[in-house]
Amino acid sequence: MTNSRGNGRVIFHIDMNAFFCSVAEINDPSLRGKAFAIGREGSYKGVLSTASYEARKYGIHSAMSQVEAFRLLPSLKIVNHDFKSYQKYHHKFVDLILEYTKIVEVASIDEVYADMTEISKKRHPIILAKEIQYRLLHELNLRASIGIGPTLFYAKMASDMKKPLGLTVIRKKEKEEKLYPLSVKDIFGIGKKTYPKLIDNGINTIGDFMNLDNKDKIINLIGKAQYDYAYEHIMGNSTNIVDPNRYSDSQSISTSQTFDVFKTTAEELIYESRAMVREVHYRLTKDDYLAKSIILTLRDSDFKTFSRRTTLDEYTDDISVMNEIIADLIDEYFKPGTSYRLLGVGLANLIKKDNLPKEYNLFTINDETEKEIVIDNMVREFQDRFGKDVIKWKRGNNNGK
């Protein structure tokens, strides 16, 4: 982080708190303070997109089936999606941030990175952050947590530390004080399949992860490439570049089919959708993307076309989640007695995995690290297939030989 006397960068990560629920509360103020979730109203079918903080106290969360959510809290209220409203308030949110800096990177519909370096030379970053929080709350009725740091990773970690309405600063010199006590599951980029391995083997905190005495154990558990990548981010040696065009090439993936024999039942449409989900899923994973929005398009025999979508809190490449959401959308919007001539399936709000071995990440890496990860993965894959003794992997020393 910097001030008028420094040369570092000041990065804000501005994360809307329960964004879809906040928009629902704007549209229906009676929801405020109540346990509710965004999903399929009036049904036990479906998957939740998100839940209010009051509902989260009961263990209810994004991507949970509505059946399971009702088991946890029978009185839970489900509110339908309102994507037009989400887009409306997303644009209002981004436009407000653009009043402070034009260097804004939209990470998803409810979060952005903003380079506040220049304006921070004249105004203290914490005062700026408090002003932004105040304006979002009082002008737009949106709650936000803001993380401030010298890198995108530090800013993201900071914004996650306190919700809702949190404001946290992490400087490189404060990493041991503020990051090391956190659980390893809080490391951004360490996935849900990875951190349990670490915890099961005694690596409970970020401090444990950074302890060089544990290095060999951790590498054996998650691989050297991911270890090095996480280690460097925690040390503060990751990107500080906010790129407004980082995801400009990742708009959507879709496919559709026109039927010679019109489909007249929801079951027929769900059956046809399976192959289409497989197709878009293949294209998604082939190009190393994750999706946050799943889209259904239907056209009836009168050529009336409509699209509906479900947007999750988290990015996914889980084909079972995609199949379930498409089936839910078909069940919900299929009209008995109507014949359908076209079915479309799409994925939107995409993000690149950015070459991470496991979970997605918003950060770039320098060329040498990228090359090392690629080579390391190639060698490991070769050894897995043909045996560890077939090829020996020896890294060079620091003098470049």
Question: What DSSP character marks residue 8?
Answer: S
Question: What DSSP character marks residue 238?
Answer: S
3-state secondary structure of 83: helix
Sheet holding 252-263, edge to edge: 252-263, 340-352, 289-300, 305-316
Terminal-to-terminal C-alpha distance of the chain: 36
Q: How far apart are CA 143 and CA 16, in angstroms?
A: 6
By annotation, the residues acting in catalysis are 111
Q: In what helix (H) or strand (E) does residue 376 lie, and over which residues does it extend?
A: helix 367-386
Contacts of 344 by beta carbon, 8 Å cutoff, 6+ apart = 254, 255, 256, 257, 276, 295, 296, 297, 298, 307
Contacts of 243 by beta carbon, 8 Å cutoff, 6+ apart = 105
